[in-house]
Amino acid sequence: MMIQPDSGGADASAASLEVDGVVVDFQGLRAIEDVSLTLRPGEILGLIGPNGAGKTTLINVLTGFQAVTQGSVRLGGVDIAGWKPHERSRRGLVRTFQSVLPFAGLTALENVEAGGVAIGLVRGEARAEAVRILSEMGLAHAANRKAGTLPFGEERRVGIARAIAMRPRFLLMDEPAAGLNDAECRDLQTIVRGICVSLSCGVLFIEHRMSMVFELCHRIQVLQLGRTLALGPTDAIRADPKVRKAYLGEDEVSPC
Ligand X SMILES: Nc1ncnc2c1ncn2[C@@H]1O[C@H](COP(=O)(O)OP(=O)(O)OP(=O)(O)O)[C@@H](O)[C@H]1O
Site for Mg ion in 202-221 (CB under 5 A): none
**Is residue 99 a contact point for ligand X (CB under 6 A)?**
no
Task: CB nearer to other proteins: give 62 or 231.
Answer: 62
Distance CA 37, CA 20 (A): 7
**Is residue 126 a contact point for other proteins (CB under 8 A)?**
yes
Distance CA 127, CA 125 (A): 5
Task: CB nearer to ligand X: give 60 or 89.
Answer: 60
**Is residue 60 a contact point for Mg ion (CB under 5 A)?**
no
| Residue 65: alpha-carbon gap to chain centroid | 15
**Is residue 80 a contact point for other proteins (CB under 8 A)?**
no
H helices of the chain, in order, are 9-14, 55-63, 85-90, 108-118, 123-136, 152-164, 182-198, 210-216, 234-239, 241-243
**Is residue 135 a contact point for other proteins (CB under 8 A)?**
yes
| Residue 3: alpha-carbon gap to chain centroid | 18
Task: CB nearer to other proteins: give 41 or 102.
Answer: 102
Indicate which single residue of 142, 177, 196, 213 sits in contact with other proteins (rule: CB under 8 A).
142
Task: CB nearer to Mg ion: give 48 or 161.
Answer: 48
**Is residue 109 a contact point for other proteins (CB under 8 A)?**
yes
Q: Is the dihedral of CA 131, 137, 141, 147 positive or negative?
A: negative
Indicate which single residue of 15, 106, 178, 246 sits in contact with other proteins (rule: CB under 8 A).
106
Scanning 2-10, 107-115, 184-192, 196-204 for contacts with other proteins by CB under 8 A, the matching segment is 107-115
Residue nearest to Mg ion (CB): 56
Task: CB nearer to other proteins: give 23 or 131.
Answer: 131
**Is residue 56 a contact point for Mg ion (CB under 5 A)?**
yes
Output the DSSP codes for 145-163: SBGGGS-HHHHHHHHHHHH
Distance CA 123, CA 247 (A): 47
What x-and-dash track marks residues 206-225 binding other proteins by CB under 8 A?
Answer: --------------------
**Is residue 166 a contact point for other proteins (CB under 8 A)?**
yes
Is 51 within 8 Å of 93 (Cβ atoms)? Answer: no
Distance CA 104, CA 148 (A): 4
Angle between helices 123-136 and 152-164 (to 10 degrees): 130
* Residues near ligand X, by CB under 6 A: 26, 29, 31, 49, 51-57, 98
